[in-house]
Amino acid sequence: MRPVLSICIPTYQRSRLLAPLLRELDAPGYLPFSFEVVVADNASADAGYEEIARYQPANYTLRYYRNQQNIGAIPNLFGVLRRAQGELSLYLADDDRLDPTHLISAVEAMIASPGIAATHCSWRELDRVSGAATPPFIAFDDLLFTPDDAGNLVQHYFFTGFLPEIGLYRTDILADCLFPTGIFFWPLALTHRLLQRGSIQLTDNSFYYIVTRHPGEPFPRDRLTNSVDIAMWERVSRSHDFLMLHHFGNQPLPPEDQFRSDLSRMRNWSLNQAMLIHFQAGDYLIALELSQLLKARGADLSFLTAEQQARMARGAALLAFVEAVSWTPEITSIALLGFDDPAQAELSRALKAVLPPRITLGGPAVNTVFLIGSDAAKSNLIDQGVRPGLIVDWQGLQAILR
């Protein structure tokens, strides 16, 4: 008999986190309706999955699949969702958790309303050591958007900053929409396809926890990763453009000036998120260039403090300098000239943290590049016959990058 719900879990190299999740889902009465758990192991080299493959839960059906080779995170996610057999299905990361009370409410609402193709919610953070949970990352009232009201849904996504990554789907409809996208952000592309088959519901009753710390972990984990980069946010921006322009065809357009302004804010919002993430990750050169692009578009960046802007400029200059030096393989050392003692000590510390192993800080030597802090130092080096490409003016570099 077909289960009511499929909980679909893509996994890779985390059997130690997946095993307790599967046991928690097996607690008597966890859900009051039939459900299955579908696991797709993306070719992990982790012996713990052998035990998971043999696990036989008492209160749900477990189906375990193992890919012959790693196919990538998003293909594995699509693959596990496509294996769902339940009337409804959802994605669950192998290190996260569900809120069964809110999930039950969402499932019951969708069962009672066959015209709903998907229910999206925002996520909450959960520290499993302290038990502390945050409110939803983005709060909004329960809302229902029909295909004819899709333009308002797109505007709601933008003005709240919500991205529909967490969803409860009607499996039959999802199967018709679950195909890759070439240039769009996949949750927004999927939303566009789902809207052609039914309504989209947003609920403030978040049924999804992102776990920041599991038992045995001394500190909360940093959710920020370098994989969330400008390429992803460019996909988001393109998706906002497409959805806004496409779905406003189903309803009267606002005044042209307002429409253009809304579209511009959408594009800037995506770039702003990318800038903040790169800045926090220490990718200062990308963050600086994104801030320049936003300023050129007329965006307000007053939320960045003077100290943050200075740190971004210094960090960008440092990364640009080190990368440029690394492109000349014969360079083996860097010498600092013309700095006062505090400035030289600070710059030395920063350089040591990012220099590749083959380049030392010191010199002068035959294969040395000179990072200088004064015009006099530059003149002296040129008089000594040092070629210009081996002399970098630290203040000038920061100025030219701006």
pLDDT, tens digit (0-9, with 9 covering 90-100), for 200-253: 999 999 999 999 899 887 766 655 444 456 788 788 888 877 887 776 654 555
- Give the integer Cα–Cα distance in Å for 360 and 383: 25
Domains of the chain: 5-213 (3.90.550.10), 230-296 (no CATH), 324-401 (3.40.50)
Segment 84-128, tens digit of pLDDT: 999 999 999 999 999 999 999 999 999 999 999 999 999 999 999
Strand partners, 124: 209
- % of the chain surpassing 90 pLDDT: 44
Paired tokens of 73: 């995170």
The predicted structure's pLDDT at residue 36: 98
Cα distance between residue 71 and residue 77, in whole Å:
10
Tokens for 81, please give them. 């969702």
Q: What is the pLDDT of residues 265-322, one digit of tens each?
A: 767 777 887 888 888 888 888 888 888 888 877 788 888 888 998 899 899 888 888 8
DSSP 310-358: HHHHHHHHHHHHHHHHHTSTT--EEEEES--HHHHHHHHHHHHHH--TT
Distance, C-alpha 193 to centroid of its chain: 22
Q: What's the rounded mean pLDDT across residues 16-43? A: 96
Residue 252 exposed, middle or buried by CB count within 10 Å (0-12, 13-18, 19+): exposed
DSSP 151: H
Report pLDDT for 49: 94
How far apart CA 390 and CA 368 sit, in angstroms, is 7
Residues 319-340 have a mean pLDDT of 86
DSSP result, 207-239: -EEEEEE-TT-SSPPP---TTS-HHHHHHHHHH
Q: How many Cα atoms within 13 Å fall on the side-chain side of residue 39? A: 26
pLDDT score, position 182: 84
- Rounded CA-CA distance 278/294 in Å is 14
Instruction: Write out the two tokens for 355.
Output: 């220099």
Which amino acid does the sequence have at 64? Y
The residue-averaged pLDDT of 354-363 equals 83
Residues 250 and 150: beta-carbon distance below 8 Å: yes
β-pairing, 208-213 vs 167-170, is: unpaired
Per-residue model confidence (pLDDT) at position 225: 43
> Residue 35's pLDDT band (boundaries 50, 70, 90)?
very high
pLDDT in tens, 146-199: 998 888 888 888 778 888 999 999 999 999 899 988 888 899 999 988 998 999
- Which of residues 174 and 263 earns the better pLDDT score? 174
What integer pLDDT is reported at residue 222 of this predicted model? 55
CA separation (Å) from 105 to 21, 98, 391?
21, 13, 66
Cis, bond preceding 57 (omega within 30 deg of 0): no
Please compute the mean of the pLDDT values over residues 57-70 and round it to a whole number: 95
Which of 91-95, 328-332, 343-347 is predicted most confidently?
A: 91-95
Q: Can you list the positions of beta strands (E) in 86-178?
A: 88-91, 97-98, 116-121, 124-127, 143-145, 167-170
Mean pLDDT of the chain: 87
Instruction: Please say if the pLDDT value at position 363 is more than 90.
Output: no
pLDDT of residue 68: 92
